[in-house]
Amino acid sequence: MLPWMHYVRPFGAAQQDILRHTAMRIVTARLARSKPPLGQEVVQFMLDSDTHMWRMRRSKANWFRVVGCLSKATTISRWLNGIQTWVHPPTTILVHILLVAIVLCPHLVLSTIFMYAFLIIALRFRYRQRVRITVDPRMSHVEVVSPDELDEEFDGFPTTRAIDQVRIRYDRLRALAGRAQTLLGDVAAQGERLEALFNWRDPRATSIFVVFCLFASLLFYVIPFKVFVLGLGLYYLRHPRFRGDMPSIPMNFFRRLPPLSDQIL
């Protein structure tokens, strides 16, 4: 029963933190008797027992990790935008052919996706990482860390530094937190706009949406789904001469919905 108890009754965040610090103290007491002895700060840093503590260097590393993951989505978005704007006409024509084939033969969608995944992964076999890297200094940003950031990282909790130095770090933290606060507000605004559409916060916009849903339900009852997907794909891939510079009607309609940011003090 014991080997799988952590699946049935997992530890909470507070219990995991207590267990982590208990293990850290045991390892510290053991290594303090070695020659030369290791201090508590070294053991705590190597075991990452204080990952919840603020560190400028680690925040930069995590930020660039997120950027690295999102860059793949940005690459795909640029590729789709290039197809949409006919940057390379043969590729766009091939996408048209693929769209028609998918609509006419929908049972081949999953097999085609998995076949493409197999070919992409198999071709990347030659570029695999041959030597396992345990610590990456570039990803950890240890090469560009400043002395103040390094001192902040090894500072204890509560801090033992001078008041002026703590004030400088606090102002820097407020500047970074302000950017995160703006980002969180923008993300919350998108969800609030969608919620406002269903809660009649803007009666005129909700009335338009209700009428649209009624006509869309009747229209999709008559028009087959394949025809809708094909028409939507051809409309998305239309030539730039048939496009305008203004935002689309659905996007403009969504941006005009009222968020709750105006009600915050």
- pLDDT tens for 71-108 read 888 888 888 888 888 888 888 888 888 888 888 888 88
State phi, psi for 99 to the nearest 5 degrees: -65, -45
Residue 224 is classified by DSSP as -
State phi, psi for 208 to the nearest 5 degrees: -65, -40
119 lies in some domain: no
Higher pLDDT, 141 or 48: 141
CA distances from 6 to 2, 20, 86 (A): 8, 15, 54
Report pLDDT for 3: 59
Last residue of a domain, one of 15, 35, 52: 52
Report pLDDT for 51: 63
**Across all residues in the chain, what is the average pLDDT?**
82
Q: Are 110 and 102 in contact (CB under 8 A)?
A: no
Residue 149 has pLDDT above 70, yes or no: yes
Number of domains in the chain: 2
User: What percent of the chain has pLDDT above 70?
Assistant: 92
Residue 2 has pLDDT above 70, yes or no: no
Residues 198-204: what's their mean pLDDT? 87
Residue 57 has pLDDT above 70, yes or no: yes
Distance CA 99, CA 92 (A): 10
Report how far apart the first and last C-alpha atoms of the chain are (Å, whole number): 53
CA distances from 245 to 10, 232, 239, 249, 262 (A): 53, 19, 13, 12, 29
- Enclosing domain of residue 253: 189-263
User: What percent of the chain has pLDDT above 90?
Assistant: 3
Residue 263 has pLDDT above 70, yes or no: yes
159 lies in some domain: no
CA distances from 89 to 7, 74, 93, 166 (A): 53, 21, 6, 58
Report pLDDT for 50: 62
Report pLDDT for 5: 63
Q: Are 257 and 193 in contact (CB under 8 A)?
A: yes
Report pLDDT for 48: 66
206 lies in some domain: yes
Residue 52 has pLDDT above 70, yes or no: no
215 lies in some domain: yes
91 lies in some domain: no
Report pLDDT for 49: 63
Task: Specify the range with the lowest mean pLDDT, choosing from 43-52, 135-144, 187-196.
Answer: 43-52
Last residue of a domain, one of 33, 52, 71: 52
137 lies in some domain: no
Task: Specify the range with the lowest mean pLDDT, choosing from 59-68, 70-79, 188-197, 199-208.
Answer: 59-68
Residues 202-206: what's their mean pLDDT? 88
Report pLDDT for 211: 92
180 lies in some domain: no
Distance CA 254, CA 209 (A): 11
Task: Specify the range with the lowest mean pLDDT, choosing from 175-179, 187-191, 211-215.
Answer: 175-179
Q: Tell me if the pTM is above 0.85.
A: no
232 lies in some domain: yes
